Amino acid sequence: MSEKAFRIGPIRPPSEANSLLIQVTNGCTWNKCRFCQLYRHTKFKAYSADSIRADIDNIAYWAERVRMYARKGTSAFAWDIEGINAELSNMTDADDRQCMYTVANWLIAGGENVFLQDGNSTALSSGRLSDVLLYLRQVFPQIKRITSYGRAENLSRSTAEEFAELKAAGLDRIHSGFETGSDAVLQRINKGVTQEQQIRAGRAIKAGGIELSIYFMPGVGGKDLSETNAEGTAEVINAVNPDFVRVRTAAIKPGTELYQDWQEGKFELCSDDDKVREIRRVIELASGVDTYIVSDHMINLLQNVEGNITADREEMLQRIDDYLDQPEADRRVFQLLRRTLRAYDLNDMKRLSAAELDALRAEVVKENELGWTVRMNGYICRYV
């Protein structure tokens, strides 16, 4: 790596698309979830405070270079984009080019948000993490929000006071892949955490003043644990009142243990409809919370089921019922349209002509003959 380059990890939540990514750890401390192979071949490493500060200094160096192209004004268009592109295309070092490109994108998008990577940044000691947060805010005083991933089991070992210290140092939000709140499902997917630990972690984070964004995976428990998956998750939401629940529909990736289980007949895939019913059940069971449901991944079938789980409950349930009330053949057509990125919501399907719908129904019949499963971006899903 060149002297002025800094590390950039592979993964960030979609909501951090415009954030500066700073890698404070590499990989995942657990690496044993049966549906995940993200960091399977990466040995976990927590970087030293000195090494992270050196990266922040290098980011500051690139920020200075990019700012030379700033024009007077405050809009995203107040940049000499052609000048930045010309400098980037003249750079011979690929690492340097990537670093300058990353920083330029961040500053042009406002330069306000930062995401600390990788799979479990809160595995850094809270002292080391606080040092990093304070230094980051000192070097870039314009930062408005710093967020990071944390593993629930790890988070459950910290107190509200410790989270309050991290908040004071500048950590605003923790994303955590709870996936489910059901102990039976947690065991099946080998998440290495219990519902009780999730609740303890979630309450302490909230009490410490940090926003909490948890992830829910409809369908990850399989057909037999489908209802349990929804009910356990609703229990956690009601006990914690997370700020966000982000829906990540389960789809099984070849190479994972869960895929192996499916191939060996030990794991029955939930259908798209089962997964939609799980989301419905979670919304129905949520009570007295101010959580916002977010559907910010293309893998989710119903992208428009979003809103405050209490204030927008009826509207979200209605959107789900609009889908579930379709005849089975049309639900399959909609699934096919979504999985092939030809529709966003039911209205897109309703705009199709009768002839187009008939052709799609025939396509679905063909898919069904192949075994009622569909591959989407390398994932396995199942129709209706």
In the complex, the residues that contact ligand SF4 under the rule CB under 6 A are 28, 30-33, 36, 38-39, 119, 151, 177
d(CA 302, CA 250): 14
Other Cβ atoms closer than 10 A to 323: 23
Nearer to ligand SF4, 151 or 331 (CB): 151
Residue 260 beta carbon to ligand SF4: minimum distance, rounded to whole angstroms: 16
* Orientation angle between helical segments 81-90 and 94-108, nearest 10 degrees: 170
Residue 239 beta carbon to ligand SF4: minimum distance, rounded to whole angstroms: 21
Other Cβ atoms closer than 10 A to 369: 8
Residue 177 beta carbon to ligand SF4: minimum distance, rounded to whole angstroms: 5
Q: List the beta bridge partners of residue 173.
A: 147, 211
HSE of 113, CA atoms in CB hemisphere, 13 A? 15
Pairing of β 20-23 and β 113-117 = parallel
One-letter identity of residue 134: L
Nearer to ligand SF4, 151 or 206 (CB): 151
For 37-90, give the DSSP string.
-TTTTS--EEPPHHHHHHHHHHHHHHHHHHHTTBPSSSSTTSB-HHHHHHHHHH
Q: List the beta bridge partners of residue 294.
A: 246
Nearer to ligand SF4, 33 or 204 (CB): 33
Residue 75 beta carbon to ligand SF4: minimum distance, rounded to whole angstroms: 37
Nearer to ligand SF4, 8 or 38 (CB): 38
Nearer to ligand SF4, 155 or 337 (CB): 155
Nearer to ligand SF4, 150 or 307 (CB): 150
Residue 172 beta carbon to ligand SF4: minimum distance, rounded to whole angstroms: 21
Residue 268 beta carbon to ligand SF4: minimum distance, rounded to whole angstroms: 21
- As given in the structure block, the two tokens for residue 383 are 């129709």
